[in-house]
Amino acid sequence: MTFKKFIFQLHKILGLTTGLVVFIVAITGCCWAFKEEIESLYDDYKKVVPQNQAILTPTQAKQLAKDVFPNNTVHGTLFKKADDAIEVIFYDAEPEFYQSVFLNPYSGKVIQVDDHLSGFFCIYIERPHANVVTQGHRRTGGWSFYINLHNDYYIWIHTLDSEEKKEFKTTFKIRLEKNHTLET
């Protein structure tokens, strides 16, 4: 196999693998950007019927949610619109625990408990992203791009005929000389 054929094969393989990675990143990025819209297709429990009475205070919501998970730490409480359930988020790093309790903002009744460490977005979007970042695969992608860029240059230069090569070198020399002269 000649060097030129080897460069073409390497260019094709690296281009296809880099393209596949870019495609996967694009699809998962779109899923992540529209996460709330996608989840709203199947999470009717987050909506409640608005009532003409006072809603729970943050302290009351925290206490009611603590009854569900008494040994875990409350990370935050989300109050949204009048027709949205209150979300109390529990998070502990060790042992890993990440769940939400949804409460009716008027009665304090527990509507749903969500486990954020399972499901589509955790398994297919968040976990793979965390693995890629922590295991250093970005460097591999960077080197693949760098090698492919040099292959592009090599292929492009060798597709020029001799006149175009001379013209390219002359233009490049003139630009360098023009940019680096000092006028007094």
pLDDT in tens, 101-154: 999 999 999 998 988 787 777 766 665 555 555 555 555 566 666 776 766 676
Select the more confidently predicted residue: 86 or 183: 86
Residue 151 lies in a domain: yes
Same domain, 83 and 146: no
Domain limits at 7?
3-32+136-175
- pLDDT category at 2 given cuts 50, 70, 90 is confident
The CA distances from residue 156 to 47, 115, 161, in Å, are 58, 53, 10
Q: How many domains does the chain have?
A: 2
Residue 180 lies in a domain: no
Can you list the alpha helix ranges (DSSP code H) found in the chain?
3-33, 35-39, 58-66, 120-121, 127-134, 137-159, 162-179
Residue 181 lies in a domain: no
Farthest CA pair distance, the chain: 84
Residue 168 lies in a domain: yes
158-173: average pLDDT? 62
Residue 96 lies in a domain: yes
Query: How much is the pLDDT for 34?
Result: 87
CA distance between the termini of the chain: 55
Crossing angle (nearest 10°) for helices 127-134 and 137-159: 80
pLDDT in tens, 4-25: 788 788 888 888 887 887 787 7
Same domain, 52 and 20: no
Query: How much is the pLDDT for 31?
Result: 82
Residue 62 lies in a domain: yes
Strand, coil or helix: 83: coil
Same domain, 52 and 102: yes
Query: How much is the pLDDT for 120?
Result: 72
pLDDT in tens, 37-83: 888 888 788 888 888 899 999 999 999 999 999 999 998 999 988 88
Assess contact for 73 and 62: CB atoms under 8 A. no
Residue 109 lies in a domain: yes
Residue 171 lies in a domain: yes
- pLDDT category at 179 given cuts 50, 70, 90 is low
Predicted structure pTM score: 0.57
Query: How much is the pLDDT for 77?
Result: 92
